[in-house]
A and B are shown apart, each in its own frame.
Chain A
């Protein structure tokens, strides 16, 4: 037990991932599920405090900082991994399993990191390993998406690294604490931007809906949980009460809704819904009160559960039909009834309908904005809570709407097991808020709220108002459905700036510098240089001719014709640079004479 208490869970998963490579397929799958379960068990056994201090580059690292915040994230990261590995039983891919385990392990590494070097190393490992989950789809589109994905994350990582280096430089300490990050204001902003890129905050949001939908079925489930949530975790650690996060979070929630309305691909709608939900968390971090922070951690916890459930069920549909577009799906409820039920539970949870886990977590964040009298933030989050009903279009377009004659088999048993686990957690936590509230940071502010009685009976007015808002929004949604005809198009997002913008920039640079280059070539190489070459030949020749002409005329008494001939001879000698010895001797004499004269004049 003592040994387990000192091993960072990250190592368990990463070393396990490498060890599993040597095993045959079935053992590898069992091993991955067992590793996730073992990781969960180890985290339950971790006692609070800071441990695991190897020396690195003259600093002492803190690989294990255990408190209620890191433990809460650790629990949900391993639970989600457990569900995802069960779900992926029927998919065979060695690369995917290994990449996922390293990715999840690195996410755990970030969550338990007590210093900024450990944090940064695991952060970059996450970026690299997750790229393989996009690549594993093995299509041209996924290869290009993975390329853009890794470029964005490497750029974000560099911004973060610059911030960390500045912070370490100005404080002399590598500790990952609030004080250290806020010491130097440039460092603080760089770190914040680095984190916000991973949190898919507007305007750095487009990498997420660009890359996640191109991943494999399993890849989508895993990706949806870790990168953005570790970013939320680091925000909770480093930036509680940072006011700029409130408007950023509100914009993210609305952005997620509007783009989801425009989108046709189910998996892309799910990707936008991640941005929407992260918006609630970012806003909550900005509010920063104990209630808000508890709400953020609770919402991250629940969000991972129902988002995994939704990615699983749409993944199951993709697995069975090979389709994921609204315009290609419909009427599947008869052939996939269990998947339909699971998707509906997921959609109800994301809409925060009472009795689901979304209700007990999202309401904490809105309550915190209200408690702090952030009027505009409260109104924006309520719009987002009502508008979140657009995600109900996921089950609607997939399983109902119009029957397109698709008659696939029900999802494989392993997939149903994975979905059932997540769906169970959605309802279970919704009915027993105390079980979630008990593991949150600042649990003391929730002590009163942590019961079914308080949440649903004593606060019945809250239940009624939330239902009223959702139902009226739903009513309107169905009335306006004809307006929302899904089209087989794509929507321009912020990635325009690096996908089209980069090309425009390249073209502009190409036009400017290459035409400058051409003009310079015309002017210097083709005109100026020959002119100079001509000048250095002709000028001394003409000068000499001018000097010699009177001498020749007097001394040789020559006629015009022979003079002309001598001149031509001389010019020819100048241009070929060949002179008889006599000429050379005379020129040397003249040159020495000039030098002497100049020397006299100067001396």
Chain B
């Protein structure tokens, strides 16, 4: 079910690009329909989270050895159990990676002929 949804979601931008037929254009155009589907999917997962019981992270449960490090006073461990944590975390992870890559590109990107012409 999920697979199918993702597939249609990916098709959306292409339809738009195709309709415009701008081969030289490098900035992809994502259609409003694509954004709508994307937002609906994101919203659905948040709504679903309301109705499921999430197993808490980093809590020593029954049957587990008590020798594990106690995380009860760790802010991060507590945060990971908050509602919507995964959505925010996924969002931040993506932004973080992109910004990190962007920042590093200043130092790391170089011309194709940097190594005497061989990539």
Name A residues whose Cβ lies closer than 8 Å to a Cβ of B.
140-141, 144-145, 214, 254, 257-259, 261-262, 265, 327, 330-331, 333-334, 341, 344-345, 348, 353-356, 370-373, 375, 378-379, 382-383, 386-387, 389-390, 392, 395-396, 399-405, 427, 460-462, 464-478, 480-493, 499-500
Contact = CB atoms under 8 A, between A and B. Distances in A.
Contact of A402 (B10, B28, B57, B86): B28
Nearest to B101: A261
B53 A461 contact: yes
Nearest to A476: B94
27 contacts: A140-B118, A214-B119, A257-B97, A258-B104, A333-B14, A348-B2, A375-B74, A387-B94, A392-B10, A395-B10, A400-B10, A402-B17, A403-B22, A404-B23, A461-B53, A468-B42, A468-B84, A469-B93, A470-B90, A471-B41, A472-B91, A473-B90, A474-B94, A489-B109, A490-B119, A491-B108, A491-B110
Interface in B93-119: 93-98, 100-102, 104-105, 107-112, 114-115, 118-119
Given A373-B69, A480-B95, A472 B118 contact: no
Contacts of A405: 23
A391 to B, nearest CB: 12
B26 A402 contact: yes
Contacts of B76: 375, 379
Interface string B11-40: 101100110011101111010001000110
Interface in B41-96: 41-42, 45-46, 48-49, 52-55, 57-58, 64, 68-69, 71, 74, 76-77, 80, 84-91, 93-96
Closest 9 CB pairs of A and B: A469-B90, A400-B14, A261-B101, A468-B45, A386-B93, A473-B90, A476-B94, A472-B90, A469-B86
Given A258-B104, A464-B49, A471-B45, A489 B93 contact: no
Contacts of B87: 468-469, 471-472
Residue of B84, B89, B90, B110 with most partner-chain A CB within 10 A: B90
B88 A472 contact: yes
A493 B104 CA distance: 11
Contacts of B14: 331, 333, 399-401, 403
A468 B98 contact: no
A403 B77 contact: no
Contact of B28 (A334, A344, A389, A401): A401
A372 B42 CA distance: 31
Contacts of B13: 396, 400-401
A348 B4 CA distance: 11
Contact of B90 (A353, A468, A492): A468
A286 B58 CA distance: 18
A262 B119 contact: no
Nearest to A371: B64
Contacts of A466: 86
Given A258-B104, A400-B11, A472-B86, 19 more contacts: A141-B118, A330-B17, A331-B18, A354-B2, A355-B3, A370-B57, A372-B68, A375-B76, A378-B57, A387-B93, A400-B10, A400-B13, A403-B22, A469-B86, A473-B90, A478-B30, A480-B94, A483-B102, A488-B112
A499 to B, nearest CB: 5
Nearest to A258: B101
B45 A141 contact: no
A450 B86 CA distance: 25
